[in-house]
Structure 1
Amino acid sequence: MSSADDKQQNPQIQAEEVVESELKPTWRSYIWDSLDKSPEERKFLFKLDSAVLTFASLGYLIKYLDQANINNAFVSGMKEDLSLYGDQLNYMQTLWTVGYVIGQIPSNIILSSVRPSIWIPSLELAWTVLTFATSRCNTAQQLYGIRFLVGLAESGFYPGMQYVIGSWYRKDELAKRSCIFHCSSAVASMFSGYLMAAVYHLEGVGGFRGWQWLFLVDGIISLPIALSGYLMLPDEPENTRALYLTAEEREYGRKRMEKEGRKGKEPYTRAKIWKIFSSWHIYVLTLLYITFNNGNNASAPAFSQFLKSSTAPKYEVWQINVYPTTTYAIQIVTTLAYAWTSDSVFRGARWPAFIFGGCMNILCYVSLAIWDIPIGWKWACFILAGAGYGLSGLAFAWAHEICSDDREERALVTGSMNEIAYVFQAWLPLLVWKQTDAPEYQKGYITVSCLAVLMMATAMATRWLHNRQNRSREVESESEGETAEEVIVDAKA
């Protein structure tokens, strides 16, 4: 049988040859990474992006929509209807966070034995039902219980999808896709504001208040997206059964990850657990994500409450919901800018974005802590603060690269990053973002300014440690190469 016939009948041979056919990057890779790759790889990535990125982005949109809608409902009549004049909003957000924290580790454990294409869409269905239920709450206590369960159901989605993305994409592809995925949270926050402004006109229809219609419409949007996940998610390269991938493409996906140094499943032995917890990876990367995740004012609808406060000009409900979406527009622009410059201009370096985002946070939040500043600059600070919101995708891309040679470590580190960050978010807002301090929140602005400084320092420490790790691996690789050459020479002698 000829060599050509072998290739046609053996998809593994084809996959190996396709992976090895690397093209030299040109200026087109600055626009999109796959433009410089072989036709086979472009076709493969197009299929993968169409399924994984579409579902990830839509899924995160509805997750964040169902997470953030409580703030829009609060400033659109829910506060007055349910007499929420104390710190009830803080308690609702805290209970959501508690559920989110409690659910993450069990969810990650389940994800190791249950296919992502089954587990993640099932979680989405659960929080969709709970979103419908929120519209029928009549007391703060009912809202506390629902918000806890929503957080529990949502806990597995973000780290789970980041893990799936990290399982399929290579280093030069990760940042863009992780950041596009994260952009969905900003789109959801904007959409929630626009949606609240729109559904407010349904006030009284069917006996529901405008803020109740927000939860009903959110649930209607969420349901078909959740159901689509059962077909769109490809699981992992070693066990994928995605209908849109051929046998050759499934093998090709496995070979791509092998070349990237991503290893398959291994048992959690005592030696492996010791290796993970004796490494700097889990501690430094978790600290980096804590400082990012808690280093903004997302825990309180500060801009909306400023607009609603008696010290500001009187704005209508639609304006209170729409004007703060400008912050998320800035988040979208800067998140995409971070992704493209990190992959191309800075040649895979992630730290410059953390420095820029940290500086923007300090500029905006120190000004807001002073508070007695010109009204135009105050608006600018609320809006420009969005530049510090979009670093999550880069943090996870960096973690995938640093932990690329150990699948179990990568899962545990990325899970810990999200988990511990939300542990802090469970109690920190109760201290520094108290509803009764609105709209000034001086303690909150001072706190996030300090966290911005710590985030920049942690990013530089991560850079130094990562570079040291790469140098060490290069030395080990050279040493192994020299040993192999000596063995060959001895064998010939």
Structure 2
Amino acid sequence: MSKTPELQNHVEEIIQKNVRRKWTSYIWDTFDKEPEERKLLTKLDAAVLTFASLGYFIKYLDQANINNAFVSGMKEELSLYGNELNYMTSAWTVGYVIGEIPSNIILTRVRPSIWIPALEVTWSVLTMLISKCETSTQIYVLRFFIGLAESGFYPGMQYLIGSWYRKDELAKRSCIFHTSGAIATMFSGYLMAAVYHLGGTGGVTGWRWLFIVDGVISLPIAFAGFLFIPDFPENSRAFYLSLEERAFAKKRMYLEGRKTKQPYTKTKVKKILSSWHIYLLALLYICFNNGNAGAAPVMAQYLKYSKNPTYTVTQINTYPTGTYAVQIVTTLAYAWSSDTFLRGRRWPPIIFGGVINIITYISLAVWQIPEGWRWTCYYLAGAGGGLSGLTFAWAHEICSDDNEERAIVVATMNEMAYVVQAWLPLIVWQQIDAPQYQKGFITATCLSVLMILTAFVIRLLHHRELRQKTGQDVSSEEDVVVVQ
């Protein structure tokens, strides 16, 4: 560190004062921090968290609208009566998978304030072009490049968030960031219901208007990223952070044990690839990401196939949004409980979400269940969808002492989850099985069981790792902070 010992002592003193938690911190962690640190975090939240959430909102809006468009006229207009929706999803996933790890490696060398907004502008323009498509093949091609452009955003922003926030701040920010995806999916349903009535305006059908409106919403947010993304503490040039605040942010991460950038070497790459971190954290995220019905619009398809009663296009698009309302509430509950009442433990909410998944998907796999319970299960499925932020917060903590490992592990987690998603829906979430996706429900159940087991193994290995570093017998991996 180039800063004086006085600065280090000053930051240590502030952080030590913050250790004595007041009840107000259970509402929001900055409420009982010292004024200097509170001011820094308020600025970061206003810029990083706001942009991350808005960016993820437009990413998920673009991603979710293909399902809403499909059940709102695209299927009939383009004669998509086979598994075309599955192929559209897979084309996007292939592009997404190809770009993730390279994008995060680029982020360790290129400013996020340049790279991430450039990707956002690209995918926004490509999404608008879907409104001009006349064949499924054209959509496949555009979806591939949209996935490629979107691939850098989520793992990149998770990596960025993990570069600015301490352990007791991390899960809330990661989960709020992730929640914006659920909000976008809800909004997409409402947007489709509203935009559908534009059908015929300017000679453009309703589902095509959806992608045009997407671009109108997305582009201003994308351009804002060039201005508001603060890069990293060690190279930030954000106009809203003073030199003293940048130095303070660097020292916070130093005291947290969060390493800064180092050269890529053969030894480093070998260390990353020989550690359990990359494999088990990736497996955990694979199970989370694929252990739900997100690859298929299961409730929308159920409503679309229903004959008694029948549902309107507006109802088909709006009723399933209740699932995402549940996801939003549970995601925030997981984050607050993990950062506060559970003292930084990430695994208990993961176990809870997995258990809810198991109950939900076993019930739907049985299928012949009371109608009220079926609707309850469709909505309860959202409780298992809010664990992403916790898994990434856990990964940031486990990989704190190697910046490049942290970047690569975070990208690998997301990438490998989508590698599986590229082919698994073609087998278990086939459009022709709608609305009774029995293979998909059984698969989601099995993956939720595996997620729970993986979480316990990670907890055990991380506990052992911390004990080796500190030479202490700790009651849990969350009870020790190792200052490098």
TM range (shorter): over 0.9
Which AA in structure 2 matches 1:429? P
SS of 2:239 mapped into structure 1: coil
Which deviations, in whole Å up to 9, do the C-alpha atoms of 1:388-424 show, x marking residues without a partner?
Answer: 0000000000000001011111111111101111000
Which deviations, in whole Å up to 9, do the C-alpha atoms of 1:321-361 show, x marking residues without a partner?
Answer: 00000000000000000000011111111111111101110
SS of 1:238 mapped into structure 2: coil
Query: 47, 52, 66: which one pairs with 1:56?
Result: 52
Q: 1:476 to 1:378 in 2, by over 3 A?
A: closer
- Larger of the two Rg values belongs to structure: 1
The answer for the alignment partner of 2:479 in structure 1 is none
- CA RMSD between the two structures: 1.4
SS of 1:83 mapped into structure 2: coil
The answer for the alignment partner of 1:108 in structure 2 is 104
Matches within 5 A, 1:127-142: 127-142=123-138
Which deviations, in whole Å up to 9, do the C-alpha atoms of 1:298-337 show, x marking residues without a partner?
Answer: 0000100000004452111110000000000000000000
Query: 27, 37, 40: which one pairs with 1:31?
Result: 27
2:299 pairs with 1:306: no
Q: 1:303 to 1:12 in 2, by over 3 A?
A: farther
2:177 pairs with 1:146: no
Which AA in structure 1 matches 2:157? M
2:320 pairs with 1:320: no
Displacement after TM superposition at 1:224 (Å): 0.4
Contact 2:327–2:385 (Cα < 8 Å) also in 1: yes
Q: Distance between the aligned counterparts of 2:5 and 2:45, measured in 1?
A: 22
Query: 438, 443, 468: which one pairs with 1:442?
Result: 438
The answer for the alignment partner of 1:342 in structure 2 is 338
Contact 1:11–1:248 (Cα < 8 Å) also in 2: no
Contact 1:11–1:251 (Cα < 8 Å) also in 2: no
Contact 1:330–1:383 (Cα < 8 Å) also in 2: yes
SS of 2:162 mapped into structure 1: helix
Which AA in structure 2 matches 1:254? K
Contact 2:29–2:169 (Cα < 8 Å) also in 1: yes
Contact 1:16–1:252 (Cα < 8 Å) also in 2: no
Contact 2:354–2:448 (Cα < 8 Å) also in 1: yes
2:466 pairs with 1:470: yes
Query: 266, 272, 278: which one pairs with 2:268?
Result: 272
The answer for the alignment partner of 1:79 in structure 2 is 75
Which AA in structure 1 matches 2:32? D
Q: Distance between the aligned counterparts of 1:73 and 1:241, measured in 2?
A: 41
Contact 1:11–1:247 (Cα < 8 Å) also in 2: no
Aligned residue pairs: how many?
469
Which deviations, in whole Å up to 9, do the C-alpha atoms of 1:122-144 show, x marking residues without a partner?
Answer: 00000010111011111101111
Displacement after TM superposition at 1:264 (Å): 1.5
Q: Distance between the aligned counterparts of 1:461 and 1:452, measured in 2?
A: 15
Which deviates further from its counterpart, 464-473 or 193-202?
A: 464-473
The answer for the alignment partner of 1:395 in structure 2 is 391
The answer for the alignment partner of 1:355 in structure 2 is 351
Query: 206, 209, 217: which one pairs with 1:210?
Result: 206
Name stretches of at least 5 consecutive residues in structure 1 with no aligned partner.
1-9, 479-493
Contact 2:171–2:335 (Cα < 8 Å) also in 1: yes
Matches within 5 A, 1:96-245: 96-245=92-241
Contact 2:105–2:408 (Cα < 8 Å) also in 1: no
**4+ runs of 1 displaced by more than 4 Å?**
none
The answer for the alignment partner of 1:491 in structure 2 is none
Contact 1:12–1:252 (Cα < 8 Å) also in 2: no
The answer for the alignment partner of 2:13 in structure 1 is 20
Which AA in structure 2 matches 1:110? I
Q: Distance between the aligned counterparts of 2:352 and 2:11, measured in 1?
A: 38
SS of 1:314 mapped into structure 2: coil
Which AA in structure 2 matches 1:27? W
Which deviations, in whole Å up to 9, do the C-alpha atoms of 1:205-260 show, x marking residues without a partner?
Answer: 11111111110111100010000000110000110000000010011110000000
SS of 2:250 mapped into structure 1: helix
Q: What TM-score do the two structures reach when normalised by structure 1?
A: 0.93
SS of 1:169 mapped into structure 2: coil
Q: 1:356 to 1:312 in 2, by over 3 A?
A: farther
Q: 1:41 to 1:11 in 2, by over 3 A?
A: farther
Q: Distance between the aligned counterparts of 2:102 and 2:24, measured in 1?
A: 43
Displacement after TM superposition at 1:12 (Å): 7.7
The answer for the alignment partner of 1:92 in structure 2 is 88
The answer for the alignment partner of 2:481 in structure 1 is none
